[in-house]
Amino acid sequence: MRGSVLLAALAALLLPISPSPAQQAPIDAMANDKVGTYDWVRPQADFVRREVMIPMRDGVQLYTVIVVRKGVHDAPILLSRTPYDSANTTLRNRSQKIEEILPVADAEFVRDGYIRVYQDVRGIHRSEGDYVLARPLRGPLNKTRVDHSTDAWDTIDWLVKNVKITNGKVGIIGSSYLGFTALMATIDPHPALKAAVPQSPMVDGWMGDDWFHNGAFRPFAFDYILRQVVARGAGPVPDGEGDQYASYLAAGSAAQFARVWGIDRVPGVRKLVEHPVYDAYWQNQALDKLLAARPLTVPLLLVASQWDQEDSYGAFAVYRALKPKDADGALVHLALGPWRHSGVNFDGSALGPLKFEGDTARQFRTRWMKPFLDCHLKTDPPPCETPPVLTYATGVDRWTVADRWPAGEETPLYLAAGAALSFARPGQAGADDYVSDPAKPVAMLPRPIRLDGDSWRTWLVQDQRFAEGRPDVLTYAGPVLDRPLHIKGAPRVELHAATTGRDSDWVVKLIDVYPRETADSGLAGYELPIGIEIFRGRYVGGFDSPAPLEPGRTYAYRWSLPNVDHVFLPGHRIMVQVQSSLFPLYDRNPQSWVPSIMDARPEDYVKATQTIRYGGSEASAVWLPVAKD
């Protein structure tokens, strides 16, 4: 293959400079000092790294890197298909040890003789073809012969036929976009694909993964798209102030922001701006629905993160879709760790101010994830003992096992008079009001805000005291708990609310309030978010049928917060906050009626009085999935 020929040519090029100085003729002072390349992998390296171009059924060749420890034979293959540059991923540094050149999460596998394979998806970095962001499956949106499913099939077929030291069994693994490609490989899978571990997978970009949540748009998508698709000048849109709150606010609507910064003609940007509704474009890409319509044959270990700032929706959507097809419980497994997005692949000892009992990510990888793959991929496999559901209970810091998910029974926690919370339904009806002003949206973090680095990775555990005092944030708190309260599932919001506007966003936060005096002084009085989620009011009648709200009318808005396993400890209190913006994570709702919020004009943004009702027949509540420990 081309990769082998290339390596041989490079080795031949370096031969003239290999002899010792004593064996070489003196060099001319004007000799050309440039050489073609330098191969830093020395003979003492404990690995072999091979670059190949694997042909797909349409003739396009995909750049693929194969890395394996020397001396390995009869070995399983662990494949990842990525848009994030396989060459750099497999050259973390210039060590001669295989564990050092690969990502940290690969160490346990390559030590045990796995063949590690990374591949650039078509059209990006060194792979040929056209790049389509999250390329849809063949069908209504993709009239070609190829997609990520066929590319995975062709890749696996080539690997098992051409990598002579393999035992012919392949697993696929990866997080985020790589979780998406891992799931796509299980659609019409190659017979050699024996297991998949999709981590924080992109599944439905409109319902609750990267681009939208319940209809509310996430403008940081523009930065991601530019990084992915622009050959020169890629990177985040410049904001000029170091505060994306200010830059997004000044630009106006999402479409206007795209025009201001000259990205409105970028195809990936246009696709988002032109499809603000849950139309056929999004529905035909919903991977949970596509998987549910096909036979289930590949064992899955779906991995999720409790504080996933990017893809909190996908793993659980696939679990809900596929678990009914898993009659004997052998094929679909679910895991939830106390991590940020993709945190399973990094150090899991802490998240922001939270400290856990050891490196929870490494615990999971060694105790459960690798054994899951071993039992399906090894020639003489150990027994398959992966639990149906494995979750980490934050608050008490321990791993727990369950037979199903959710593992708690819904119990309503009602909003009540006096900014209180109560497990008893308030008999008397009442209401609280606040004014929502799009010119002064509620910030997601203390300003200045940059949606990158640690501030982005940890924003979901940000102390919420910064928002509590705002007049446009309602805060309800329960009494001090005298016993633990364990929740295992997705808390469900039932908000009875009205607005004087024609549209409105609703944001609900479920918060664990730490005692004012605690052994960990850094958390004294801390308001820890357990779940934060938004709902765009125009979709109360259906996500595919937006409609203006009737001013003053009370609607019942129902949606879910992210899935959690958490224990509220004695001495803590439960808090719920309600607001109508979460900026700049989500674009502002103008609160007047416009056909597309993407195209809202400055004059469309108006103040509105928001009314939250409690008690009686319109009892707003957060339904907690309470576990019986």
pLDDT digits (tens, 9 = 90+) for 494-519: 999 999 999 999 999 999 999 998 77
Partners of 50 in the beta sheet? 66
What is the structure's pLDDT at 65? 98
Q: How many CB atoms lie within 10 A of CB 41?
A: 15
Across 84-94, average pLDDT = 94
Angle at 271 between CA 266 and CA 272, to 5 degrees: 105
**581 CB-side CA count, 13 A:** 26
Confidence band, pLDDT 50/70/90 cuts, at residue 9 = very low
Q: Left if phi > 0, otherwise alpha if psi is -120 to 50, otherwise beta: which for 453?
A: left
* Tokens 């056209």 belong to residue: 130
What is the structure's pLDDT at 234? 65
**417 CB-side CA count, 13 A:** 7
Confidence band, pLDDT 50/70/90 cuts, at residue 40 = confident
Confidence band, pLDDT 50/70/90 cuts, at residue 22 = low
Helix (H) or strand (E) holding 376: helix 370-377
**DSSP assignments along 523-586, one per residue:** GTT-EEEEEEEEEEGGGTT-TT---PPPTT--EEEEEEPPPEEEEEPTT-EEEEEEES--BTTS
What is the structure's pLDDT at 80? 98
Rounded distance, CA 556 to CA 495, Å?
A: 6
Across 250-264, average pLDDT = 94
What is the structure's pLDDT at 380? 95
What is the structure's pLDDT at 11? 39
pLDDT digits (tens, 9 = 90+) for 427-454: 999 999 999 999 999 999 999 999 999 9
Rounded distance, CA 382 to CA 10, Å?
A: 42
What's the one-letter identity of residue 111?
Answer: R
pLDDT digits (tens, 9 = 90+) for 262-300: 999 999 999 999 999 999 999 999 999 999 999 999 999
What is the structure's pLDDT at 361? 98
For the chain, the straight-line distance linking the first and the last C-alpha, in angstroms and rounded, comes to 58
Rounded distance, CA 543 to CA 538, Å?
A: 8
Rounded distance, CA 338 to CA 395, Å?
A: 10
| Longest CA pairwise span in the chain (Å) | 99
Q: How many CB atoms lie within 10 A of CB 443?
A: 19
Instruction: At 108, list the tokens.
Output: 């346990």
pLDDT digits (tens, 9 = 90+) for 541-564: 999 999 999 999 999 999 999 999
What backbone phi and psi angles, to 5 degrees, belong to 476?
-120, 135
Rounded distance, CA 26 to CA 222, Å?
A: 57
pLDDT digits (tens, 9 = 90+) for 52-67: 999 999 999 999 999 9
Prediction pTM value = 0.94
What is the structure's pLDDT at 19? 53
CA distances from 390 to 301, 479, 628 (A): 10, 31, 16
Three-class secondary structure assignment of 153-193: HHHHHHHHHHCCCEEEEEEEEEECHHHHHHHHHCCCCCCCE
- Let me know: does 179 contact 311? Beta carbons within 8 Å: yes
CA-based nearest residue to 506, from 444, 582, 574, 430: 582
Instruction: At 306, list the tokens.
Output: 């409790």
The helix/strand/coil state of 496 is strand
Cis check: omega of the bond before 590, within 30 degrees of 0: no
Rounded distance, CA 266 to CA 258, Å?
A: 9
Better-predicted residue by pLDDT, 24 or 422 = 422
Q: Judging by DSSP bridges, how do beta strands 555-560 and 621-626 pair with one another?
A: unpaired
- Let me know: does 282 contact 258? Beta carbons within 8 Å: no
Q: Judging by DSSP bridges, how do beta strands 573-579 and 474-477 pair with one another?
A: antiparallel
What's the one-letter identity of residue 503?
Answer: D
pLDDT digits (tens, 9 = 90+) for 149-202: 999 999 999 999 999 999 999 999 999 999 999 999 999 999 999 999 999 999
What's the one-letter identity of residue 627?
Answer: A
- Let me know: does 559 contact 493? Beta carbons within 8 Å: yes
The helix/strand/coil state of 607 is coil
Kindly tell me the burial class for residue 549, based on how many C-beta atoms sit within 10 Å of its own C-beta (0-12, 13-18, 19 or more): buried
What is the structure's pLDDT at 629? 81
What is the structure's pLDDT at 522? 86
Rounded distance, CA 516 to CA 571, Å?
A: 9
Instruction: At 287, list the tokens.
Output: 């991977």
What's the one-letter identity of residue 587?
Answer: D
Confidence band, pLDDT 50/70/90 cuts, at residue 4 = very low
**What's the chain's Rg over C-alpha atoms?**
26
Given a cut of 50, is residue 14 above it in pLDDT?
no
What is the structure's pLDDT at 12? 37
Q: Judging by DSSP bridges, how do beta strands 300-305 and 216-217 pair with one another?
A: unpaired
CA distances from 564 to 405, 408, 460, 532 (A): 11, 11, 13, 11
Chain-centre distance for alpha carbon 380: 34
pLDDT digits (tens, 9 = 90+) for 339-352: 999 999 999 999 99
Angle at 593 between CA 590 and CA 597, to 5 degrees: 55
Q: Give Cβ neighbours of residue 517 (< 8 Å, ≥ 6 apart).
A: 524
What is the structure's pLDDT at 240? 62
Across 11-29, average pLDDT = 60
Given a cut of 70, is residue 360 above it in pLDDT?
yes
Rounded distance, CA 24 to CA 14, Å?
A: 14
What is the structure's pLDDT at 20? 57
Given a cut of 80, is residue 238 above it in pLDDT?
no
Instruction: At 402, list the tokens.
Output: 């369950």
Give start and end residues of each alpha helix (H) in 447-513.
Answer: 453-457, 465-468
**Average pLDDT of the residues of the chain:** 94
The helix/strand/coil state of 118 is strand
Across 591-618, average pLDDT = 98
Given a cut of 90, is residue 147 above it in pLDDT?
yes
Given a cut of 90, is residue 236 above it in pLDDT?
no
